[in-house]
Amino acid sequence: MHVVRAGLALAAIWALRRQLAGQGSDALLRQLRAFGWQHLALGGAAVAASFLVLGAVELLGVRQAASRKAVSPFTAVATSFVANALSQSIGLSVLTGAAVRARVYGRIGLSAPEITRVTAFVTISATLGLMACGAAAIVGARGHLLLPTGITVGTIPIAALLVTVVAAYFTWAAFGRSDAVGMGRWTLARPSGSIALSQTALSAVDWVLTGLVLFAFIPAQAGLSFGVVLSAYLIAQVLAVTSHVPAGAGVLEVVTVGLLAGGSPREVRTAVVAALLMFRVCYYLLPLVAAVGISAVFEWQSRASSRGAAVLHAG
């Protein structure tokens, strides 16, 4: 699996280099310097709103998976921020997110199965939202998609597959005979129809907000509307997530550039590349730095509290 991921990442980087052949670094730097406070304000607001929506998904997951335990909204939102900021940048979201949640929720009293169910709920929610939005974007694109590997695939079969998975989840939620799947304590409760709808709706809003982060840095001169940018971004994210390459590195860029600026003048390609760089900085790098800082403070406070309790016990 690691070899496949590495191969896909290398193929994407190679394809991106071909797309950017002839692009001068000076033009890219000029475009980056051209971003003003309006771009930064819109991008920053979209990032903040996205992580707040993810926090709402987290809180919904906690109440669904561990309803008897009291987890404050602040704790859920803060935990969601750290877990998502780390997993989105590092990759292996299930393992990274589970580790963060185990550290925080374990101190509150949630059991390992409960924490696993919360992680599963969040992961399923993100997947449902991306599949629903991605299917709509792919149907709107029509025709065929050119993958980073050079393979061309039809859009209708991909959209049909995505819709089928989402429909299957809703069918299970609404008409499933069993109340849970799994064995013993390690089970995932069947959500109600309203919970399934909330999962998908919240996640869809989050994906639209992340698309807005990218659009915030697309200059007006490029002539790209929000709908066009969002559609390309969602298609690129579907392929990036499917590739399992950490943070979709290379895959997201090559597909987005290809869809938005394939065959366009050099200035448009430069604008899209610059927007993608700013997107990476605002949505991946800065939250990652903040998450590491929050984690460090949390660990320091936790150890200080443990030392204080040990001293009181010894006394």
Domain-wise residue ranges, the chain:
2-18+25-310
Stretches where the chain sits below pLDDT 70 are 1-25, 67-69, 91-95, 142-154, 182-186, 247, 264, 302-315
Task: Give yes or no for a contact between 278 and 35, defined as CB atoms under 8 angstroms apart.
Answer: yes
Alpha-carbon distances, residue 139 vs 132, 234, 286 (angstroms): 11, 12, 33
Q: Please report the pLDDT score of residue 306 as a whole number.
A: 56
Q: Please report the pLDDT score of residue 51 as a whole number.
A: 97
Which of 243, 241, 273, 279 is closest to 260 using CA atoms? 273
- Read off the pTM: 0.84
Q: Please report the pLDDT score of residue 4 as a whole number.
A: 43
Task: Give yes or no for a contact between 204 and 256, defined as CB atoms under 8 angstroms apart.
Answer: no
Q: Please report the pLDDT score of residue 290 as a whole number.
A: 94
Q: Please report the pLDDT score of residue 11 as a whole number.
A: 46
Encoding tokens for residue 284?
């991946």
Q: 17 - beta bridge partners?
A: none
Encoding tokens for residue 206?
């989050």
